[in-house]
Amino acid sequence: MQNDVDVFIIQKQTTLERYTKSKINIDFFDYLERDKQTPVPLQEAHNEHTNSRDILIKALEKYSITYKIFNLDELASNNICYYNDKCKNSGLNPKMKIVISLGGDGTLLHASHHVGGEVALLGINSCPAHSVGHMCPIVPNDIEKAICCIINKEYSTKSVRRIKLEVSRKQIVPLALNDVLLCNRHPAATSRYQLGIFSADFASEFASEKQLSSGLWVSTAAGSTAAISSYGFQKLDLLSPQILAAVREPYTPRNESLQLKQFSIDGNEKSLLFFSRMRQGLVCVDGPDSCAYLGFGDTVKMSLPKECALNLVLDFFGKVPLFPIDNG
């Protein structure tokens, strides 16, 4: 989407909005009662988020900054495409080269799929009492200060590496800021595949192994504190070029040892190739909402090109207090 406004805002839908105001065939309040919960915390979280949104909009309008605001469902319904480093007009491209994520880390991950190139992403944790926001340095009380810094260009970004996926049959998936899960579509079925380590340009193969498991996690440095951390990996510096990989529940019927069970590679020098030996495989990018299907012989190339990095706003030169963030 091109530069018809100064900034774009991508906001989350609160749990209250998602399950009580959408057309879902469920009595959510009945569920809460049976689960011995009350709607009070959900209402409080909803109110905190909407209050943050009001503060942001008021600040933008105070300084005559034009904006458009989307929730995650509206990104899809408005056919806003993923950012693609090979397509000049892909993703969001506002005049001020800033996209604002209003929510927590989950919202920021979804927003990142539509941001790249010269455009930077700023995360605002709209509900710090209820949301995880490792990469969202701004809290509601400091929103106006952050907007002033953006106007005056008093901020800096960090170039955070993302995994680029090239999937068979020209299926389109976004760049992965956090992680990728490759597995069988059915959670009770075995994931069958061949995993290879290649040079960054896929011209040379260094190692390859057929595996049976519950799937494969592949993570960036930004995702090192997420699912893959349960395999014993240490938190990486946010700017690290490492790619982490871990096999979920490996199955070795003859008690053989897997050579590529858990490892890291330098994304500047190496890449990964996943060869599906499944009829119904699945690749999920940054969670369950961005997926592609795999069949027999389908491949997924995973690399870490510098040109696919995300410019993440994480510093305002001391002019804005920063919420404790996971930046290394």
When pLDDT is cut at 50, 70 and 90, the band that residue 19 belongs to is confident
At 275-294, the pLDDT tens digits run: 999 999 999 999 999 999 99
CB 267 within 8 A of CB 160: no
Residues in the chain: 328
Q: Is the pLDDT of residue 99 over 50?
A: yes
Give the C-alpha separation, 179 to 201, whole Å. Answer: 21
Bridging pattern class, strands 270-276 and 191-199? antiparallel
- Residue 12 CB contacts under 8 Å (≥ 6 apart), including other chains: 49, 71, 72, 102, 103, 104, 106, 107, 126
Q: What is the CA radius of gyration of the chain?
A: 21
Predicted local confidence at residue 22, as pLDDT: 61
pLDDT category of residue 25 using cuts at 50, 70 and 90: low
pLDDT of residue 322: 79
**In terms of pLDDT, which residue wins out, 33 or 163?**
163
176 DSSP β-pair partners: 163
Alpha helix (H) ranges present in the chain? 15-20, 28-34, 40-62, 72-77, 105-112, 143-151
User: pLDDT of 143-183, one tens digit each?
Assistant: 999 999 999 999 999 999 999 999 999 999 999 999 999 99
The pLDDT value given to residue 31: 83
Question: What pLDDT score was predicted for residue 186?
Answer: 97
pLDDT at 326: 46
Q: What's the rounded mean pLDDT across residues 51-79?
A: 94
User: How confident is the model at residue 92, as a pLDDT?
Assistant: 95
Q: What is the dihedral of CA 142, 148, 152, 158, to 10 degrees?
A: 30
Q: Which residues lie below 8 Å from residue 322, measured CB to CB, with a gap of 6+?
A: 137, 138, 314, 315, 316
pLDDT at res. 327: 41
Spatial neighbors of 37 by CB under 8 A, at least 6 apart, are none
pTM: 0.93
User: What is the percentage of the chain residues whose pLDDT exceeds 90?
Assistant: 77
Residues 6+ apart with CB under 8 A from 102: 9, 10, 11, 12, 49, 52, 53, 56, 124, 126
**Banded pLDDT at 2 (limits 50, 70, 90):** low
Q: Is the pLDDT of residue 105 over 80?
A: yes
Token pair of 112 as six digits: 């990142």
